[in-house]
Amino acid sequence: MHEMAITQSLVDIIAEEMRAHRAGKLLNVRVQIGQMTAVVPDALRFCFDILTQHTPMAGAELIVEWVPVQARCESCERTFEVKDHAFVCPVCGRSAAATSAGRELSIVEIEVE
């Protein structure tokens, strides 16, 4: 399960930040996960609970912000939400190559004491 590898990286970053800020306990962590990633939020929570057992992160809440997929039209330069994985501009009908959102796997904030 790759969520384990992803969660391990997340826990490593939190530990580093907690050390840098001399924090004793993690209350919650906010992450942004794009809809076009290989991540199932429930699996992430499950792995987070396992990996944080008996650590200062145990019991902390994992807050997941789910980011919809967006793309930018290269012709009319509009940004639009990608529905049903169709990278086609709803305004001019041209196809868009790259995502502008929806590929996030980011930590954004932690709350500690």
Partner 1 sequence: MKINVVRNILEANARIAAENRELFAEKKVLVMNLMSSPGAGKTSLLEKTIDSLKGRMAIGVIEGDIQSSQDAERIAAKDIPVVQINTGGACHLDGNMIRDTFHHFDFDALDLLVVENVGNLVCPAEFDLGEDVKVAILSVAEGDDKPAKYPLIFHESQALLINKIDLLPYVDCSVEKIRAESLKINTQIAILEVSCRTGLGISEWCAWLTDRIAAKGLGIK
Angle between helices 41-52 and 2-20 (to 10 degrees): 50
Give the pairing type, strands 61-67 and 70-72: unpaired
29-68 footprint of partner 1 as x/- string (CB under 8 A): --x----xxxx-----------------------------
What is the spatial distance between Cα 35 and Cα 105, in angstroms, rounded to a whole number? 10
Q: Which of residues 59-98 bind Zn ion (CB under 5 A)?
A: 73, 75-76, 89, 91-92
- Runs of H (alpha helix) within 1-113: 2-20, 41-52
* Count of positions on this chain that bind partner 1 (CB under 8 A): 35
Query: Where along the sequence are the contacts to partner 1 (CB under 8 A)?
Result: 1-2, 5-6, 9-10, 12-14, 17, 21, 23, 31, 36-39, 84-88, 95-97, 99, 105-113
